[in-house]
Amino acid sequence: MLNLKSLAVAIPAAFLATAALADGETIAVFTKNQTNPYFQAVRVGADNAAKSLNAKVNHYIPTKPDSIPEQLSQIEDVIVKKPSAIVFIPVDYKAMVPGVEQINEAKIPVVNVTDRSAGGKFLAFVGADDYNLGLETGRYMLKKLGGKGNIVIIEGVKGSLTSIDRVRGFNDAIKEFKDVKLLASQPANYQRLQALQVMENLMQSHPQIDGVMAANDAMAIGAIEALDGANRKAQVIGINGTKEAVDAIKAGKLLASGDYNGFVQGCIGTMVAIRSLRGQPIVTEVVLKPTVVDNTNYQPYDAAVETRTCPTWDQAAAMATKTN
């Protein structure tokens, strides 16, 4: 009797468990554009995680990079298609809040990645800390310069959260060293060519520049080209830890790059979404610790993102800053 009773409980429970663990969920992954290698890394991370968990990923990317109206209409389209869950990077952390609210109304679980949305309900946030990334990478360079010298900052897109926070980090690092002088802080919109030209112009008015802090790798490498062209030397840092930056570090041209680790963000964001669908425990916030990639530790980054593997769930959970 007792056995039968426990069996009666066990069978449906086993059924439930398999139902909850069924694979084949579809995850809609939203990224900002097709041009920045960072988001490619996020997408590869998401694909990688989904594949190992037997889920499917559909990518939604605005054809016009970082387009707010386009991402909004993509959200509307996706809600109609009802994916199992959404992994979401807002192109603008404020402007996309109404879009997130639509997802919430449609009761589709959603994980927020990279840029922390200003509103809406999410299962979890997975991202990096732009301010600390700027601060740590900036500090790293200033220490290498012996705590003195003339610095210029090359800013990203004015008003974007990543640029604001990274530049704030740079500035605070500079304030920590009283013999470091900030000569100029000029925008180049995360664009290589603009960074090259801004650097060329700054070199005209500043005969001595010791360090360049660029808010992303493409701009850092643009600045290096400008320095090379003028036969001048300065230490340059970038942010994102892209393959191109690693090559420049290996060649001794770039001092360091702050690792934003889009690949891992894509992995963990997707893992959280799938685990939540399967009723497994999740974490509610992962903010990756800033890592400065330099000529001593670049090896793990010196490979195409496609060849990397996601962290295990235990490793991911260990990085969590908030859990349920």
Any residues with CB less than 8 A from the CB of 85 and at least 6 apart, and which?
A: 25, 27, 28, 108, 109, 110, 111, 123, 273, 274, 276, 277
Q: Are 256 and 237 in contact (CB under 8 A)?
A: yes
Greatest alpha-carbon pair distance for the chain in Å reads 91
* 73 sits near another protein (criterion: CB under 8 A): no
Among 23, 179, 228, 302, binds another protein (CB under 8 A): 228
- Which residue in 158, 232, 289, 322 binds another protein (CB under 8 A)? 158
297 binds another protein (CB under 8 A): no
Binding flag, residue 231, another protein (CB under 8 A): no
How does DSSP classify residue 104? H
- Burial of residue 322 (CB within 10 Å: 0-12, 13-18, 19+) is exposed
Least separation in angstroms between CB 89 and another protein: 14
* Residues 292/256, Cβ–Cβ less than 8 Å: yes
**Does 150 help bind another protein (rule: CB under 8 A)?**
no
Q: Binding another protein by CB under 8 A: which of 128, 202, 264, 267?
A: 202
Of the residues 3, 18, 205, 296, which one makes contact with another protein according to CB under 8 A: 205
Stretch that binds another protein, among 14-22, 197-205, 270-278, 313-321 (CB under 8 A): 197-205
DSSP 128: E
Q: Please identify, using beta-carbon distances, which residue of 90 and 222 lies nearer to another protein.
A: 222
Cα–Cα distances in Å, from 168 out to 8, 133, 219, 233?
Answer: 61, 10, 17, 25
- Shortest Cβ 210–another protein spacing (Å): 17
What is the number of residues in the chain?
Answer: 324
Decide whether 55 or 198 has the Cβ nearer to another protein: 198
Out of 193, 232, 300, 303, the only residue in the binding site for another protein (CB under 8 A) is 193
Count of residues touching another protein (by CB under 8 A): 40
Q: Considering only 11-19, 78-86, 171-179, 187-195, which stretch makes contact with another protein by CB under 8 A?
A: 187-195
CB 190 within 8 A of CB 163: yes
Candidates 50, 221, 234, 254: give the one binding another protein (CB under 8 A): 221
Enter the tokens of residue 56: 């499917």
Nearest to 66 by CA among 28, 39, 87, 97: 39
Q: Nearer Cβ to another protein, position 66 or 294?
A: 66
CB under 8 A: which stretch of 90-98, 104-112, 195-203, 311-319 binds another protein? 195-203
- Residue 192 interacts with another protein (CB under 8 A)? yes
Question: What is the rounded CA–CA span in Å between residue 177 and residue 236?
Answer: 17
3 state DSSP class of 44: helix
If one asks whether residue 40 binds another protein (CB under 8 A), the answer comes out as: yes
User: Among residues 141, 139, 131, 135, which one has the least CA distance to residue 163?
Assistant: 131
Tell the smallest beta-carbon distance from residue 140 to another protein (Å). Answer: 24
Please identify, using beta-carbon distances, which residue of 163 and 291 lies nearer to another protein: 163
Please list, in sequence order, all residues whose beta carbon lies within 8 angstroms of the beta carbon of residue 68, skipping any fewer than 6 positions away.
91, 92, 95, 96
Residue corresponding to tokens 């600390």: 132
- Residue 185 in contact with another protein, rule: CB under 8 A: yes
* Of residues 288, 252, 53, 257, the one with CA closest to residue 138: 257
User: Among 22-30, 75-83, 135-143, 200-208, which window interacts with another protein (CB under 8 A)?
Assistant: 200-208
- The residues that touch another protein, with contacts defined as CB under 8 A, are 33-37, 39-40, 43, 63, 65, 155, 158, 183-187, 189, 191-194, 196-198, 200-202, 204-205, 218, 221-222, 225, 228-229, 242-244, 247
